[in-house]
Amino acid sequence: MFTAKIVATLVPDPNNEAVIGGTWDGKAFGPVPARPVGDLAAAVKAEAGWRIAAILPAWKQRNLLARAVELLDKGRPAWTQAETDEAAGAQALWDRVKAIRAASDTLEVSLTGMGDDQLRAVDPTDDKHWPE
């Protein structure tokens, strides 16, 4: 079971509103700094990896590959209907993986053109960035 600990710091601002994060220069709180693009890109890759593993864990990917080799060796014309259906199901799973990878690539490329305010707003875990 995966567990995560989330820590947030409430920082007061001049309008007496609470904001998450911020910087402290010894006298006053400043704005939340933007995450470096490299950190965000790594977070995007990690999120994509998690989403891929959720639908097709590593062990299942290995089994899928091994079975594909067996079917390739047999040759498509010799497949039974069950093997044809099996291959179609495997391809559907792999298409989902490819869609996640494509979404990850798109999000990573978009980071390079963003300003600090946009980078602050990026949440790689937000479902809006991902298929399904």
pLDDT one-digit tens code per residue, 70-110: 999 999 999 999 999 999 999 999 999 999 999 999 999 99
User: Residues 45-82, buried b or exposed e (16+ Cβ, 10 A)?
Assistant: bebbeebbeeebeeeeeeebeeeeeebeeeeeeeeeee
Q: What's the pTM value of the predicted model, to 2 decimals? A: 0.70
Mean pLDDT of the chain: 83
